[in-house]
Structure 1
Amino acid sequence: MKDHLIILIRSFSAFIILMLIARALGKQTLSNMNFHDFVTAVILGAIAANFAFNEKIEVTHLLIALSVFTITSYILSKLLLKFRKFKMWTEGTPTVLIEGGLILEDNMKKNNMTMDSLNEQLRQKEIFNIEDVEYALLEINGKLSVQKKKEQQFVTLKDLQLNAGSNAKQFPIELVIDGQLLNDTLKANHIPESWLLSQLKVRGKKLEEVFYAVKGSNGQLYVDDYKDKIQHPIDVE
């Protein structure tokens, strides 16, 4: 009976500790699990299981191990926010699987993606005809992001106000992320840095003030500043 009570207490304690760790690591870890989040989850799960059932291992040793991996994951998540190149090296980048309606077989092979799995993910997005897809990207968390061809997209009020001649749309191009200018993206898409700076100047902004900038599918520039001038941000609990 005593052993059962000890296991009960240790199991409940392990559950509470993991809940606190998940809370500390933040919502992003839960919503978009990347490589380091996956590794952390597996290791913490194994340690918590030993904490609950393995009486041969001292509690202090398990707590030290949990603390080390939790702190390591927390520090790594902060480094990923600060250094984009480090983030790209550790997590990789999204992979284009369909571009302009054409399937990129080489990119699918690199990600061990089969047509069956691609079609399965498309069906989950209520797309049963692959011919309806203009772009499809495999995100770093393994999820598929899809843009349908224009004739398959839902019509909005804004679309009804557009001229019939404005049919050509491009894929959104990210130019600034986390305040860092993406020079490789600018070169690859033949976008002069002077154009970006001039667009920012028209808006009365400097590059160092910009947190995120993307050239949208309509060719217009969307800019988000570091300072959003929101006095009381609301976080819905």
Structure 2
Amino acid sequence: MSLFWETIIRTIIAFSLIMVFTRLLGKHTIARMTYHDFVASITLGAITSNIALNTHLKTWQSVASFTTFAGIAYLVALISLKSRKSRKWLAGKPTVIIENGKILENNLKKMHVSLDALNQELREKDIFDPDEVEYAVLELNGKLSILRKPECRYVMRKDLQSLFLTSQTKLQFPVELIMDGKIITENLLQNGMSPEWMTKQLQKRGVNLEEVSYAVRKTNGDLFFDLYRDRIRHPIDQE
């Protein structure tokens, strides 16, 4: 076989492999890049280029290397999905870098983010004064999420009702209380709550802990519960 046709065939194999692997990992790999996704993407990209262009390596060797690494990446993704502790270690966790208009310099240093970079991110979100920010969170994919202070937000229909209230509830940072059917005891204790209190909240709603996929205390202090059983007859985008 000529070198030309060998390169064409190897390129088709490389393209097919990377497409199958991307579909296997799911849409989240494209939408965001965590530590795990970043390492997997770069390494698999290098292996794929070797499959397509490095004719000094036998095709089966390159394919075996790709398959092995893809299997490891898929296994790590499954472990991250099942275990919150593993997920925090593999993907990291969001970091608050502005709280109540105050820049948290120590957190900036931990994330290796400069004040210039932070100001650029804020300006890109039409914020030129950090004092307008209630919370700024650096997400797992490196993007900055912003919660403006109430007086600096755009007005929504539900906000009009607050015009008739004599007082306004102070916003709080959302706190995750339950994830994957398990109580996050650390978050409860840090925010003046207890597992017993959480148990009572579940009893009020008539659900068991194992039925809850996710629970969070919202910014207004209310509790939000999402159950595994959504009771939606025809959910959108099933695959």
Q: How do residues 1-237 of structure 1 correspond to structure 2 at under 5 angstroms?
A: 2-162=2-162, 163-235=165-237
| TM-score normalised according to structure 2 size | 0.93
Aligned pairs, number? 237
| TM-score normalised according to structure 1 size | 0.94
- Give the CA deviation at 1:203: 1.3
Structure 2 unaligned runs (5+)? Answer: none
Opposite residue 189 of structure 1, the aligned amino acid is N
- Give the CA deviation at 1:193: 2.5
- Give the CA deviation at 1:4: 2.3
- Give the CA deviation at 1:119: 1.2
- Give the CA deviation at 1:9: 2.6
- Give the CA deviation at 1:136: 0.5
Structure 1 unaligned runs (5+)? Answer: none
C-alpha separation in 1, matches of 2:18 and 2:59: 15
C-alpha separation in 1, matches of 2:158 and 2:166: 12
RMSD value, Cα: 1.7
> After TM superposition, which residue ranges in structure 1, 4 or more long, deviate above 3 angstroms?
none
Opposite residue 157 of structure 1, the aligned amino acid is R
Opposite residue 63 of structure 1, the aligned amino acid is V
- Give the CA deviation at 1:236: 7.0
Opposite residue 233 of structure 1, the aligned amino acid is P
C-alpha separation in 2, matches of 1:124 and 1:54: 42
Give the percent of matched residue pairs that are identical in Structure 1 and Structure 2. 43
Q: 2:183·2:195 contact (CA, 8 Å) conserved in 1?
A: no
Q: 2:202·2:209 contact (CA, 8 Å) conserved in 1?
A: yes
C-alpha separation in 2, matches of 1:104 and 1:147: 15
C-alpha separation in 2, matches of 1:32 and 1:164: 42
Opposite residue 211 of structure 1, the aligned amino acid is S
